[in-house]
Each structure stands twice: as structure tokens, then as C-alpha cells.
Structure 1
Amino acid sequence: MSKIRLLLVDDHEIVRAGLRMLFLAEPDMTIVGEAGSGPAAIQAVAELHPDVVLMDVAMPGMSGIEATRRIKESSPDTAILALTMYEEEQYFFEMLNAGASGYIPKRAAPDDLVSAIRVVSQGNVFLYASLARFLLNEVLPAHETRTEPSSTEGLTSREREVLTHIAEGKTNREIADVLVISPKTVDRHRENIMQKLNLHSRVELVKYAISKGLIQVE
């Protein structure tokens, strides 16, 4: 099995050193490079072609938000996971709108970060539980709470199952194991779901699942 190729982006060397130690212990991950600024990250992506960029949000000069936007323009298949000390709604949406596939605070447990890397490397969205409420606030009025799933127009029962697992942040392999199907079949279901619902990104997929009550966000 090929390893997940990581690029670490943070303007603090001590942070990158800690991340390096964490990921070196993971047999399915390899660090292909590091960058201490937005421009350096853009250049590194062009040269190294990582699968996942772990991106700091606030850096001197070019922010991680702008670096994310430029990387996604030139390398749309590269997944970007925001790792930051900022948990404000503004930064959360700016990173997702720039093209990030996930957002996780630096206070998160190491196991959560490792899981997030695996999730976004497979084309899925990872949202840290305490931050996912921002999406809930966007798709539902503040006073409304869904307890029962509403209609999921045109989806088969299996597609609804796959959608729910994707929105919960499971990897393709985890979904495949639960449903006893292949990861390729999971991918095919996801493509069909997005086509049927006219959704264009994984974030839209998660928003849809929340709005239909398929998953609960605390």
C-alpha cells in the first residue's frame, strides 16, 4: 500500500519538529517536505506533489488561507488540512471556502490529527467535533433542531448509509468495512450521491447531511 505523502507547513520550526516526530511513527505516512511560509508551501507543492498539506492558518506575510487558495488553483487534487490555534468561525469558513478539506485545532489529540490526515487523503472532509457546529448554524436556523431525517431526494438506502458515514468523517476503508463493500464501491456511491444532489464539494455533502438530520452535531 502506498504511503500518504505529507507536506508540513508552519512558520514555527518547533511545531514542525513535533509533527515530524508524530508522523514518523505512522507506517502509512511519509513526510516529503516542510515549509515555513505560504510562498514556500506553494513552491513545495509544485515540486513535491504531496497528497496532503498540513497547513497553518496564520503565518507572517501570506496567510495559510491565501496559500490554500493558490495551491487548490494549481493542484486541485491536493488535500489541505488546516491545523491552527484559531477556532473562530471566520477562519473556519475562510479556510473551507479557500478549498481546505478539513479544519482541526492544535489542541486536538495526536490520534485525532492522524485520523484527520487519513480522512482527507481519501477525498473526504474532516471537521473537528467542536467546530462542526459552525456548519450546523449555517444550514439550520438557531432555534431549529432536527431529530428525524427528512427526505433525501432520489437516494437509495445504501447511498444514504454512505452519505451518513462520509459526513461522520469516516475514511473510505472504514465505510467499506462497516458496509462490507469495497473502497472503490464507496467512491462510486459518493460520486452518484453528489451527481444526484447537484453538490460540488465534500463540504457541501456534509452540510447536506446535517440539514437532513442524517448526523447530529452537538
Structure 2
Amino acid sequence: MGMKLINLLIADDHALIREGLRKILSIEPQIQVVGEVENGQKAVEFCKQKEVDIVLMDINMPLMNGIEACRAIKEEHSQIGIIALTIHDQDEYLFELIKHGISGYVLKDVHPDQLIQTILGVARGESFIPPALTARVLAEFSRLTSSEQYDKKHQALTEREIEVLKHVAKGQSNKAIAKSLFISEKTVKNHLTNIFQKIGVVDRTQAALYAIKEKFVDL
């Protein structure tokens, strides 16, 4: 099976950072940088015109910031993975980003290898939120989520779905979950589709937070 290239867009208002990211990512044969833009508005426009799999999104940009751009892109192209790039742990942004379906969150001082692994992981459908931030985000998530929305939802989950959800909350990939439960990756994907629908979430990160909130797993 041929290796599918990951079409990646870099959105950052600093030319130097864009150049640095392009150089780092050119090392990985599976990643193809298809464009660079300097603000959120241009990122949204680019995604309308070209085929993009993943956007590396700076948070603080002129005209339209990364959060607004994330929301706009996800509304039209839910399949595009978005990885936020930020200078420091901006918790208040992270919650907003999770709400809008972000797939990953990395600091700008991330090791190049880790950045590449995050991109490859998001392309496989995984989520990357630093564990150190999960507890803080969860507190915010619990505070803002209406209890009615979640009330008794997990009663509708089967035992197997709860098992899958526990593994998701521990940050395991579909491949690792399949191996642990002795089922195929396709079955894991089917379970995840059902779980997302039943508990009313759109991605793995929200599902993981739900699992922690419902005490299926302990932090």
C-alpha cells in the first residue's frame, strides 16, 4: 500500500517561525507542506481552495485568531485535523479549542521529533493534549457542560464501548486499543462512532474528558 502524503498548512504570523517549521517538517517524507499563511482568515480561505489534511495553527494572529479560524474551518471541513501552536500553556484558549474540535496542542518549544509524531498521530485520527493540561481543562469542561446533556448517557453504552472509552481516555491509539482488546482496528473505529453519537461528542479529546468526568478512569 502506497504511503499517503499528509497535506499540511502552516498558519503563523511570523515568517521566521513558518520557515523553521517548513524546514523541520521537510525531514519527514510523509508530510507535505502545501502552504503557509500569516493569519486565520487566510487559513480559512486556503482550506476552501486546496486539499488540506492538517493545519498547524498559531493562536495569536492578526485579522482572525487561531480559535476563530479553528471554528470556521471545522464548520466547513470537519475532517481537517487542527494542531494549535502556542508559546505557553494558555489554558483558557485550550478549552475553547477543544470545544471547537481541535486534535492537538503543542508548545512552540516542542522537540521537532515530537511535533512530527503529533502530526502523524493526528493524521491517524488520534488526539494530543498534554496530560498536564487535561485536569485543568476538565475542571472547566465540567463547569461549563450542562449536566442534563450528559445525564445518564453512559448507561446507554455497552460494556465493550466503556472498555474502548477507558483506553481512549488513557491516550491510546486505535491500533493499541485493538491490540489490548483483541479486536480489529475497524471494530475499534465502529465502537468510537457509536460512543461519540451516544455521549454527544465530536472527537477523541472530548470523549476522553467525558470518561474522566464520569470517573471511568482516574487521572
In the alignment of these two chains, the number of paired residues is: 208
Deviations 1:128-178 (A, max 9, x none): 12221223323569xxxxxxxxxx534444433322232233333343344
- C-alpha RMSD of matched pairs (Å): 2.5
Q: Matched residues in 1 for 2:19 and 2:80: separation? A: 22
Q: Which moved more, 1:73-82 or 1:99-108?
A: 99-108
Residues 57 and 66, structure 2, Cα contact 8 Å, conserved in 1: yes
Deviations 1:50-95 (A, max 9, x none): 1111100001221111111111122222111111114122111122
2:128 equivalent in structure 1: 126
Residues 124 and 166, structure 1, Cα contact 8 Å, conserved in 2: no
1:146 equivalent in structure 2: none
Q: Matched residues in 1 for 2:127 and 2:171: separation? A: 6
1:52 equivalent in structure 2: 54
1:199 equivalent in structure 2: 201
Is structure 2 residue 75 aligned with structure 1 residue 73?
yes
* Aligned CA distance change for structure 1 residues 198 and 36 (closer, same or farther; 3 Å): closer
Q: Which amino acid aligns with 2:9?
A: L
SS of corresponding position for 2:21:
helix
Q: Which moved more, 1:126-135 or 1:94-103?
A: 94-103
Residues 124 and 171, structure 1, Cα contact 8 Å, conserved in 2: yes
* Aligned CA distance change for structure 1 residues 109 and 161 (closer, same or farther; 3 Å): farther
Q: Matched residues in 1 for 2:86 and 2:28: separation? A: 21
**Normalising to structure 1: TM-score of the pair?**
0.82
Query: What is the identity percentage for the equivalent residue pairs of Structure 1 and Structure 2?
Result: 41
Q: Matched residues in 1 for 2:111 and 2:101: separation? A: 24
Matches within 5 A, 1:158-197: 158-197=160-199
Residues 119 and 169, structure 1, Cα contact 8 Å, conserved in 2: no
Q: Which amino acid aligns with 2:120?
A: R
Distance apart, 1:118 and its partner CA: 2.6
Q: List alignment gaps of at least 5 residues for structure 1.
A: 142-151
SS of corresponding position for 2:32:
strand
* Aligned CA distance change for structure 1 residues 36 and 187 (closer, same or farther; 3 Å): same
1:99 equivalent in structure 2: 101
SS of corresponding position for 1:104:
strand
1:148 equivalent in structure 2: none
Q: List alignment gaps of at least 5 residues for structure 2.
A: 144-153
* Aligned CA distance change for structure 1 residues 153 and 28 (closer, same or farther; 3 Å): farther
Q: Which moved more, 1:206-215 or 1:46-55?
A: 206-215
SS of corresponding position for 1:77:
coil
* Aligned CA distance change for structure 1 residues 40 and 196 (closer, same or farther; 3 Å): closer
Residues 82 and 103, structure 1, Cα contact 8 Å, conserved in 2: yes
* Aligned CA distance change for structure 1 residues 136 and 98 (closer, same or farther; 3 Å): closer
**Normalising to structure 2: TM-score of the pair?**
0.82
